Amino acid sequence: MDFSIILDALKLASVYGVLALGFVIVYRTSRVLNLAQPGVVLLAGLMALTFIPRDATPTRFWLTALVLLALGALAGLALYALLLRPMAGQSHISQVLMTLAALFLLQAISEAGWRGESGFIPMPGRQVAWELFGTNVRLLDVAPIVVAAVVVAGLALFYRYSRSGRQMRAVAENPALAARRGINIEKIGAMAWAIAAALGVVAVFLTSTQGSVSLLLVGTTLKGFTVALVGGLDSLSGLVPAALLVAAAEVVTVRFIDQQLGEAVPYVVLLVVLLVKPWGLAGTREELDRV
């Protein structure tokens, strides 16, 4: 077995995992499929392109990344407060369509500001590489895996031990009961949206260790969405195996079968998994509900 395939799959899985996390967190607390997330990711990538010049020092890079994280969280808050909260009580389908509309608004902004521009984010440490198991491993190949692991572990700890995390779990379990116990549901919802959007910013940095920032990010983010579904939309524990499964399937297909089919692989995996386990690998079975 070629070690580079495993590495490729792990890299892809780390990106998909973080992308999927953004969808899962929003879905758990507000039961809304956040289709605006690709727009957030795209916009974050384009801003990173603009504000991190080619000869940026590492300090400048990290500062910009932090600012973008904060901006991402703010964008998430704004989306929630301006577009989603007024839709409370409307049918789910209307809420999903609202996030779609938000996606197009974000795309319009990116179109107005960058007009289909694409490029690479200059990463610090892009020259560092080692020889490992007979393959040349760059620092940028390992970093996304580590970052993704830290993010997932951090969120798991946050959910388990912090007060807000517990409240979020309570809201995910049963919003009505949580509200009765004095949990501010709107605050929790806003927090979830902010975290999700910030995760979108993290994800864009992870993808750009591997490739360029371009309009294709929208498609990549949607593939993260399939990962969220494969794992189970409201489940954090199903997420890691789902990301590994989808990424492995995609890498193997691209490597051994056909490059062009790679785009469709996550969706095929999704179909197969959902046919066997309709609620994803570890999602909770929901009450019958109309979309």
Interface with other proteins (CB under 8 A): 33, 83, 86-87, 90, 92-94, 96-98, 100-105, 107-109, 111-112, 115, 219, 222, 225-226, 229, 233, 260-261, 263-264, 266-268, 270-271, 274-275, 278-280, 286, 288-291
Residue with smaller CB distance to other proteins, 159 or 279: 279
Residue with smaller CB distance to other proteins, 16 or 225: 225
Residues in the chain, how many? Answer: 291
Whose tokens are 């779990």? That residue is 169
CA angle 195, 200, 203 (to 5 degrees): 125
Residue with smaller CB distance to other proteins, 87 or 252: 87
Q: 241 by DSSP, 3-state: which? A: helix
Distance CA 206, CA 15 (A): 6
* 8-state DSSP, 185: H
**Distance of closest approach, residue 44 Cβ to other proteins, in angstroms:** 18
Helix, strand and coil in the chain, % to nearest 5: 70, 5, 25
**Distance of closest approach, residue 37 Cβ to other proteins, in angstroms:** 14
Residue with smaller CB distance to other proteins, 124 or 175: 175
**Distance of closest approach, residue 261 Cβ to other proteins, in angstroms:** 6
Token pair in block for residue 169:
């779990």
Token pair in block for residue 128:
């560092």
Contacts of 1 (CB under 8 A, 6+ apart): none
**Distance of closest approach, residue 263 Cβ to other proteins, in angstroms:** 6
* Torsions phi, psi for 132 (to 5 deg): -140, 125
Residue with smaller CB distance to other proteins, 69 or 282: 282
**Distance of closest approach, residue 258 Cβ to other proteins, in angstroms:** 8
Contacts of 243 (CB under 8 A, 6+ apart): 13, 14, 16, 17, 20, 227, 231
Token pair in block for residue 16:
């998909």
* 8-state DSSP, 143: H
**Distance of closest approach, residue 91 Cβ to other proteins, in angstroms:** 8
**Distance of closest approach, residue 83 Cβ to other proteins, in angstroms:** 7
Contacts of 129 (CB under 8 A, 6+ apart): 136, 137, 138, 139
Residue with smaller CB distance to other proteins, 1 or 275: 275
Q: Would you say the C-alpha torsion 89, 90, 96, 99 has a positive or negative sign?
A: negative
What type of residue sits at position 137?
V
Residue with smaller CB distance to other proteins, 7 or 33: 33
**Distance of closest approach, residue 193 Cβ to other proteins, in angstroms:** 16
Residue with smaller CB distance to other proteins, 173 or 258: 258
